[in-house]
Amino acid sequence: EIVLTQSPGTLSLSPGERATLSCRASHSVNSSYLAWYQQKPGQAPRLLIYGASSRATGIPDRFSGSGSGTDFTLTISRLEPEDFAVYYCQQYGSSPPMYTFGQGTKLEIK
């Protein structure tokens, strides 16, 4: 089973700043199988990025994903007030065939 480790656990930034969130896998992940979600308090997760770098429908272009192998990054180029939330990475592994999520990074207002 592939374990995803996200860092930092909490990131404190101000609106307008750039956010860089990391997701590291215990074994190499096919980048096609890597996704990112945003979750606000009391809400369901929302898909942001799939295939490591493709933005989901309706997602602003300030969100971008990159990476390959074991290291993946979600970047928010210029933080808006509505971007402060918890972010999860997710991968689909083939051995065994299952989804795993990172433990999340909380992005909070500084």
Partner 1 sequence: QVQLQESGPGLVKPSETLSLTCTVSGASISSYYWTWIRQPPGKGLEWIGYIYYSGTTNYNPSLKSRVTISVDTSKNQFSLNLYSVTAADTAVYYCARRRVVPANGYYYYYMDVWGKGTTVTVSS
Give CA torsion, residues 88, 74, 93, 45, to 10 deg.
30
Tell me which of 9, 14, 16, 44 binds partner 1, using CB under 8 A.
44
The whole-angstrom separation of Cα 17 and Cα 102 is 24
**Closer by beta carbon to partner 1, 40 or else 78:** 40
We find the least distance from the C-beta atom of residue 64 to partner 1, in angstroms, to be 16
Residue 14's CB is within 10 A of a number of other CB atoms, namely 8
Within positions 2 to 31, which residues make up the interface with partner 1, using CB under 8 A? 30
The whole-angstrom separation of Cα 54 and Cα 60 is 12
64 part of the interface to partner 1, by CB under 8 A: no
Q: Which residues bind partner 1 (CB under 8 A)?
A: 1, 30, 32-33, 35, 37, 43-47, 50-51, 54, 56, 88, 90, 92, 96-104
